[in-house]
Structure 1
Amino acid sequence: MSTPTKRKVHRRKRRHAPRRDRVQKSQSGSSAKGSKSSTKSGILPPSDDPLEENIFEREPMPQGYVFVPKGSVYITRHCRSNTKESKKVVFVIYQCPPPCIDKEQDKAAKRTLGIRVPREIHENVSEQEALTSQRRSDAVDARDSKTISRARDLLLEEFPLMPRDSLKVILDHAFLKGSGRVGRTSMTTDKRKASLAVEAHIRHMHTPYESLLDDGVDRSDAREKVWPIVKAIKKTWEGSTDGNFVDLTLR
């Protein structure tokens, strides 16, 4: 009688061991899934910020939260910072990618749509945005005016013989806010920006550069062909031509 009893106990232990393994695997799998927001269409990586969570737009809205679409930098920035200051989570909303697409398409389709933040915080930020709108607009205008004024002074200092109509065109074009052109870059010095802006203006307005492009000449080859003219006119505007006059009627 004692021998069968031992065998039964032994069999129970052997049956329980794999069952424990399955529980451990299940728990580890569920924790791994908890670190990512997943759908049939793909998986979002977890945020590095403990107070931010990346989720797809189809996820249900948390109680007391509202959706803040992209568009207003002021509202998005302050809603995000105020939510974190209150030790609450900011949900970053991603567009759901369409089904049955490859990995590259899936990656491209995952774009942010906005954030979800507590309703009260959004209401307070929206109120402050309205109250400070005019003051912020005036500050931006004053800053932009200062930038253009500084650029004008630098261009006149570096190129004192530049025709005044060319000066206006360069300021309106190369230094146009939001244009992404050389006058607005933060990747180089002010003097370098002024020099590149003048070269670009001369190349397009006082050389056959555009005609060469229309004739099918490669862009880099066209730049090389007109560079002697660009360099000569630039030196003329600098006042360092050694008495050599450059005709500016070329188009």
Structure 2
Amino acid sequence: MAPREITVSPSRPIPTGYAFLKKGIKYKTLHCRRLTHEAGKPVYIVEHRKKVLGICVPQPIFDQVQAQADETLAARRLATEQRDAALIRTAAAELDKQFPRIPKVDREKVLAHGFKKHSGRVGRTSQIPLQRKVLYAVSAHIRHAHTRYEAILDKGGNRDDARKAIQKTVQDTLRFWSATRGRK
């Protein structure tokens, strides 16, 4: 049985009848790869110095996926916006549950910053439960907005020392915001 995926260098010519799809567009990569496998053809993975640059797939499959991507773009964007809005609503409910006394301005900043799409921030990870994401996002907000953390770093302090220096303030604020009285 022929290999389904073959790793090649960028200097190797693209096989006849194949097109190059650069890395970065998950929708196209997923569908090109799946359709190529279903057609029983190999997918060529183009790598340079162990870094994937993209894939080569049969030209008709490339063209088909390109057309589908164009046709479905608006619907996929809408679905993404709806998922993102649902995540923010769920995070807001969890934030209100854990920290009922968080000031409104801080609440909005935590949601906008800690759950910002494509930010790499804790709120966007799928690796930890929502309760922890909210706790970590609130802790980070307190650290950066309500302590001397940034000033310590600006004066040349290292992160570990700065975190130790402000730890009590963060913990005290977390306790105060989580007390079960009405929001400020």
TM over 0.5: yes
1:60 corresponds in structure 2 to 13
Give 1:169 deviation, angstroms: 0.6
Aligned equivalents of 2:154, 2:180: Cα separation in 1: 33
- The structure 1 residue matched to 2:86, chosen from 146, 152, 155, is 146
Q: How does 1:227-242 map to 2 (within 5 A)?
A: 227-239=167-179
Give 1:56 deviation, angstroms: 1.4
1:200 corresponds in structure 2 to 140
2:97 corresponds in structure 1 to 157
Aligned equivalents of 1:191, 1:159: Cα separation in 2: 11
Which runs of 5 or more residues in structure 1 are unaligned?
1-48, 96-108, 242-251
Aligned equivalents of 2:94, 2:27: Cα separation in 1: 32
SS in 2 for 1:91: strand
2:118 corresponds in structure 1 to 178
TM-score normalised by structure 2 residue count: 0.91
Q: How does 1:74-153 map to 2 (within 5 A)?
A: 74-95=27-48, 109-153=49-93
Aligned equivalents of 2:82, 2:143: Cα separation in 1: 32
Which runs of 5 or more residues in structure 2 are unaligned?
none
1:226 aligns with 2:166: yes
Q: C-alpha offsets along residues 184-203 of structure 1, whole Å, 9 cap, x if unaligned?
A: 12222211111111111111
| Matched letter for residue 135 of structure 1 | A
2:106 corresponds in structure 1 to 166
Aligned equivalents of 1:151, 1:141: Cα separation in 2: 15
SS in 2 for 1:93: strand
Poorly superposed stretches of 4+, deviation over 3 Å? none
SS in 1 for 2:15: coil
Q: C-alpha offsets along residues 95-132 of structure 1, whole Å, 9 cap, x if unaligned?
A: 3xxxxxxxxxxxxx342221111111111111111111
SS in 1 for 2:116: coil
Comparing 122-131 with 207-216, greater Cα deviation is found at 207-216
Aligned equivalents of 2:167, 2:154: Cα separation in 1: 18
Aligned equivalents of 2:101, 2:77: Cα separation in 1: 35
Q: C-alpha offsets along residues 197-229 of structure 1, whole Å, 9 cap, x if unaligned?
A: 111111111111111122222211111111111
Give 1:240 deviation, angstroms: 6.1
SS in 2 for 1:161: coil
Identity level (%): 40
Aligned equivalents of 1:165, 1:59: Cα separation in 2: 56
Greater RCO (Cα-Cα under 8 Å, separation 6 or more):
2
Give 1:174 deviation, angstroms: 0.8
